[in-house]
Amino acid sequence: MSLAMTDKIISSYTPAPNNRFNIGDRVLVHSNSSPGHRRTPGYIRGRMGIIKRICGEFLNPEELAYGFDGLPKRILYRVSFKQIDIWSDYTGAVEDTLEIEIYEHWLLPVENS
């Protein structure tokens, strides 16, 4: 399967009918530094990426970690980031990427410019 074909595949592990973002959307990860258990790595906060997959809707693990019920459910996305945009000293190929699964409440839309 060619790269062009895989970019057009819409996939979801579980239903996520109310997704805010679509595959190919540019997003920015919130840069806040909330205390406690957070599923979003600090090194990716404030970085821009592209939605690659809508993984589905799941109980919120940030709430489950504290013994709450995890509701409301949150939509999980796989987001691709260019390595050179994450690590200032990255010396690998410019097209190298890192994919991270991030919940919707951590993501902000980026307007196309």
d(CA 92, CA 106): 27
pLDDT number for residue 39: 79
Concatenated DSSP letters for 5-32? HHTT----SS--TT-S--TT-EEEE---
Domain count within the chain:
1
pLDDT number for residue 13: 64
d(CA 109, CA 113): 12
Q: Which residues of the chain have pLDDT under 70?
A: 1-13, 34-37, 112-113
What is the CATH number for 81? 2.30.30.50
- Structural domain of 99: 3-109
The pTM for the full model equals 0.83
Fill in the DSSP letter of residue 73: P
pLDDT number for residue 15: 75
